[in-house]
Amino acid sequence: MSEAPARLQTLDTVRGVAVMGILLLNIVAFGLPEAAYFNPRAYGGAEGWDLAAYLANFVLFDGKMRGLFSFLFGASMLLVIEGAEAKGESPASVHYRRMGWLLVFGLAHLWLVWFGDILGGYALIGMVAFLLRKLPVRRMVILGAMLVVVQTVLFTLLPLGVHYLQSIPEGAPGYADAVKQIDDFNRNFGIPSAAENARQLALFRGGYAGIVADRFAHNQLGPLPMALLYGSETIAYMLFGMAALRSGMLRGEWPRARLRRFAWIGFGIGVPAYAAIAAWLINRDFALLPVMTAVFVLTTPVRPILFLGWAALILLLARPGGLLTERIAAAGRMAFTNYLTTSLICTTLFYGYGLGWFGTLSRAELYLVVLAVWALILLWSKPWLARFRYGPFEWAWRSLARGEPQPMKGAAASG
């Protein structure tokens, strides 16, 4: 057999870390009111261990795991395209069937399970990224860097808009509308009113029908708004992933010295930059304008540097044949299933139609749930793949995209 199995495991291992790591951020959105995701003063605690949990996530994981997930999505997308071409199939037909069904899964996840879906957005953006698949590696990297710059410029408009609204004097024309818009920004990024937090607590501790009705009311356009807002950087991250696959990084072909250099650069630049931004936020007491400036503008150009450092570090630490590496790689091979299953578990724990824990745990306490979910993912993924070729949702996606049920029984191939 060729070297394909080991090479594929490198991709699966990084993907496994990403799908587990993204829960470090999503758990806040599962368990606390919306603004708490960006602002520790909104809810869940902003002192002691709660503040420490926020800062550790902000510096090391926030946005980086999403970026890593997008990076790997681009690599996996290219891998499927190359596989279709090798079999003499139409890569466009294979790709767009997959993206079409991924959009269906994403819409179902968004409307019926959890408002924080990323699958639908990936499907839409993946339809565009397909057109860039034949670019040389160097051009992929250059175009990706340019798109990050574009995203930074576009994001700058958000805090500028908040600054303008805050500058309108009381009694001036448009002041009432400005106050309403500032309240909307506070609901998402600042410190919401007690009434707003109470509304969210009542909603998510309530029944399934009310939660779904609210989700439909606020997400009528599905993933389109988020795809437009984050589109430039997400395409950039997918391009970086395609470049990493084509250059051999995600095939396990890079020498360790090169990976070490990438890790040192990524963490050497990214961690101090994020730490400085975090110190500034603390100094400004997490006020609305600094929070929006930080999460949208200041972090955007630094984020890809740090998540590329993460990718290099994971590849360095992964030990082929190691028990933990095997478990993480299995989790990555079932990333689609594990991502959706995590939503099903967490919404059942936190929402009113389940245990109703929403808003009852502090920010730091939420990570006890993360550890428990991680344990489940690591425990179940490898035994499942010892008996079945795909994870349950991978099988469903593959069968729908191919138009017929795929063989399921039998251990997953290692290559």
Characterize 317-342 residue by residue with b for buried, 16 or more Cβ atoms within 10 angstroms of its Cβ, and e for exposed: ebeeeeeebbbbbbbbbbbbbbbbbb
Examine residue 32 and state whether it is found in any structural domain, yes or no.
Answer: no
What range does the domain containing 165 cover? 38-322
The pLDDT, as a whole number, for residue 5 is 36
Residue 66 lies in a domain: yes
Sign of the CA dihedral 182, 188, 193, 196? Answer: positive
Name the domain count of the chain.
1
The reported pLDDT for the residue numbered 2 is 32
- Of 232, 221, 219, nearest to 116 by C-alpha is 219
Is 294 among the domain residues?
Answer: yes
User: Residue 415: its pLDDT value, please?
Assistant: 45
Residues of the chain with pLDDT under 70: 1-8, 411-415
75 within domain boundaries: yes
Q: Is residue 407 a part of any domain in this protein?
A: no
Q: Give per-residue pLDDT as tens, 81-135.
A: 999 999 999 999 999 999 999 999 999 999 999 999 999 999 999 999 999 999 9
Q: Report yes or no on 266 lying in a domain.
A: yes
In-domain check, residue 205: yes
Tell me if 135 is assigned to some domain.
yes
Question: Is this structure's pTM higher than 0.75?
Answer: yes
Tens of pLDDT, residue by residue over 204-237, are 999 999 999 999 999 999 999 999 999 999 999 9
The pLDDT score that the predictor gives to residue 79 is 93
